[in-house]
């Protein structure tokens, strides 16, 4: 097998990269270890920045997203029983976010790729990336039928997420920056209409809680829990009770209950592995960096990376000039670190730290009051949340 760009991983990073390359007339093959069914039903992100939506729409996969996605112009920060609105659009010259499930984005991207007849192999195993120091890199793998395959290509894109194999392959050449948080998120998807039409980020003495949604009629809810928490300890009744307690207040707000259709626990981590380029192997998305989900940024960052990569590859293929590939890592890392800081800052403002002294929650409360009362502070949150237009 031979292609121009071999892409490992059919998450948002790999699929969007394949799409952008196809629009430039560049061939790719995507290799995915899971089944189509699995990746189309993995519940994860829900918040898309305007730049992400525009990129998908401009590439011809925005039709259902623009029909079913819900545009939000604000969000709420809630503490002491009251919600305070941050007017995202008013503060950012009209920009907003779109609520649309990551698995819906993945479905749209897979459908377009399959319809267009571009290669996408599911259930591959034993993937190895080789010879990326030279001009003829190769990806060895076992296909779904059990046959050994070699895919030769000009360039390999490592889009295989945090637990993939591309980053470990270049481990010794990486500089890693990392922070683990002493808590995780328990997330549920429930068949209930959300009680607020905008997201509610809640600071509570028992820990953080978040109400989000999946249009048109599902609620997505999260609770801060211990990092090693076991799901069995959280039957639905306990989850609802805890949600009611954390969201309770004097303004009558409450979460609406419904049948729980998905439940999972996610650890929280900040992580960056630099650089993103190793010869002809380019890391993108969660394979290179992770942010805690409080800023709703991971998917958007993955799309931002591959936009830079597709631009560099298109320039290289059309002119022979590799300078935009040489600067790929540095250009991405500027955005990555801005988003790292914002995600850490949101996380720090909203969560309770086990064993913290009484000083910490007082600082958090002061920060929340400042963000909700100062135009400058609110604008800073808003422009980061909707996504900063950093030069590509």
Cβ atoms within 10 Å of 173's Cβ, excluding its own: 11
The bridge status of strand 218-225 relative to strand 209-214 is antiparallel
- The DSSP H or E segment spanning 31 is strand 28-31
Among 11, 18, 293, 312, indicate the residue that binds ligand PHB (CB under 6 A). Answer: 293
C-alpha separations of 141 from 121, 125, 144, 164, 260 in Å = 11, 6, 10, 14, 38
Fill in the per-residue mask, 325 to 364: x = in contact with ligand RFL (CB under 6 A), - = not in contact. ----------------------------------------
Q: Does 255 bind ligand PHB (CB under 6 A)?
A: no
Q: Quickly tell me which residue has 């121009």 as its tokens.
A: 4
Q: Nearest approach, Cβ of 190 to ligand RFL (angstroms)?
A: 15
Among 298, 347, 372, 384, indicate the residue that binds ligand RFL (CB under 6 A). Answer: 298
Q: Which residues contact 168 (CB under 8 A, 6 or more apart)?
A: none
Active site residues: 72, 201, 293, 297, 385
Among 31, 109, 157, 386, indicate the residue that binds ligand RFL (CB under 6 A). Answer: 31
Collapse the DSSP code of 50 into the 3-class scheme (helix H, G, I; strand E, B; otherwise coil) and give the result. Answer: helix
Between 35 and 373, whose beta carbon lies closer to ligand RFL? 35
Among 164, 184, 207, 292, indicate the residue that binds ligand RFL (CB under 6 A). Answer: 164
What angle separates helix 50-58 from helix 298-319, to the nearest 10 degrees? 40
Between 47 and 110, whose beta carbon lies closer to ligand PHB? 47
Token pair in block for residue 65:
């997203």
Q: Which does 8 bind (CB under 5 to 8 A by kind): ligand PHB, ligand RFL, none?
A: ligand RFL
Q: Does 138 bind ligand RFL (CB under 6 A)?
A: no
Give dist(CA 46, CA 268) in Å, integer: 17
- Which string of DSSP letters, residue by residue, matches 169-190? HTGGG-EEEEEEEEEEEEEEEE
Fill in the per-residue mask, 45 to 84: x = in contact with ligand PHB (CB under 6 A), - = not in contact. xxx-------------------------------------
Between 46 and 51, whose beta carbon lies closer to ligand PHB? 46
Q: Does 21 bind ligand RFL (CB under 6 A)?
A: no
Between 31 and 296, whose beta carbon lies closer to ligand PHB? 296
Among 302, 332, 336, 346, indicate the residue that binds ligand RFL (CB under 6 A). Answer: 302
Q: Nearest approach, Cβ of 250 to ligand PHB (angstroms)?
A: 25
Fill in the per-residue mask, 234 to 273: x = in contact with ligand RFL (CB under 6 A), - = not in contact. --------------------------------x-------
Binding residues for ligand RFL, total number by CB under 6 A: 36
Q: Which residues contact 196 (CB under 8 A, 6 or more apart)?
A: 76, 83, 211, 253
Among 3, 196, 270, 294, indicate the residue that binds ligand PHB (CB under 6 A). Answer: 294
Q: Which residues contact 161 (CB under 8 A, 6 or more apart)?
A: 9, 11, 285, 286, 287
The answer to whether 136 and 233 have CB atoms below 8 angstroms apart is: no
Fill in the per-residue mask, 200 to 239: x = in contact with ligand PHB (CB under 6 A), - = not in contact. ------------x-------x-------------------
- The DSSP H or E segment spanning 261 is strand 259-274
Between 13 and 21, whose beta carbon lies closer to ligand PHB? 13
Q: Nearest approach, Cβ of 313 to ligand PHB (angstroms)?
A: 30
Using alpha carbons only, give the angle 315, 317, 318 rounded to the nearest 5 degrees. Answer: 65
Q: Quickly tell me which residue has 């007849």 as its tokens.
A: 117
**Residues interacting with ligand PHB, by CB under 6 A?**
45-47, 199, 212, 220, 293-294, 296
């Amino acid at each position: 097998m031979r292609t121009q760009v071999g892409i490992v991983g059919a998450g948002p990073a790999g699929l969007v990269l394949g799409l952008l390359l196809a629009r430039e007339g560049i061939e790719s093959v995507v290799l995915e270890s899971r089944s189509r069914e699995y990746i189309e039903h993995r519940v994860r992100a829900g918040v898309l920045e305007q730049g992400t939506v525009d990129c998908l729409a401009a590439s011809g996969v925005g039709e259902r997203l623009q029909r079913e996605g819900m545009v939000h112009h604000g969000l709420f920060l809630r503490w002491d029983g009251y919600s305070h609105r941050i007017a995202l659009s008013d503060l950012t010259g009209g920009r907003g976010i779109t609520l649309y499930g990551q698995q819906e984005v993945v479905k749209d991207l897979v459908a377009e790729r399959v319809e267009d007849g571009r290669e996408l192999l599911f259930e591959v195993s034993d993937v190895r990336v080789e010879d990326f120091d030279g001009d003829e890199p190769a990806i060895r793998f076992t296909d779904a039928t059990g046959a050994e395959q070699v895919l030769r290509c000009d360039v390999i894109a490592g889009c295989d997420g945090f637990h993939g194999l591309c980053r470990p392959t270049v481990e010794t050449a990486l500089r890693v920056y990392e922070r683990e948080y002493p808590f995780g998120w328990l997330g549920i998807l429930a068949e209930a209409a959300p009680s607020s039409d905008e997201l509610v980020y809640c600071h509570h003495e028992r820990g953080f809680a978040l109400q989000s949604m999946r249009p048109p009629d599902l609620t997505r809810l999260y609770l801060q829990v211990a990092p090693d928490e076991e799901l069995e300890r959280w039957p639905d009744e306990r989850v609802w009770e805890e949600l009611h307690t954390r969201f309770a207040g004097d303004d009558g707000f409450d979460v609406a209950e419904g049948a729980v259709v998905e439940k999972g626990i996610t650890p929280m981590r900040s992580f960056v592995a630099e650089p993103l380029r190793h010869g002809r192997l380019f890391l993108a998305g969660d394979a290179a960096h992770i942010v805690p989900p409080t800023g709703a940024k991971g998917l958007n960052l993955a799309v931002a990376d591959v936009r830079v990569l597709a631009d560099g590859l298109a320039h290289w293929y059309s002119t022979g000039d590799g300078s935009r590939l040489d600067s790929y890592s540095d250009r991405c890392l500027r955005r990555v670190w801005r988003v790292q800081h914002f995600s850490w800052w949101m996380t720090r403002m909203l969560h309770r730290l086990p064993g913290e002294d009484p000083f910490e929650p007082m600082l958090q409360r002061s920060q929340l009051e400042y963000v909700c009362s100062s135009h400058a502070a609110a604008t800073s949150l808003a422009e980061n949340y909707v996504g900063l237009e950093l030069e590509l």
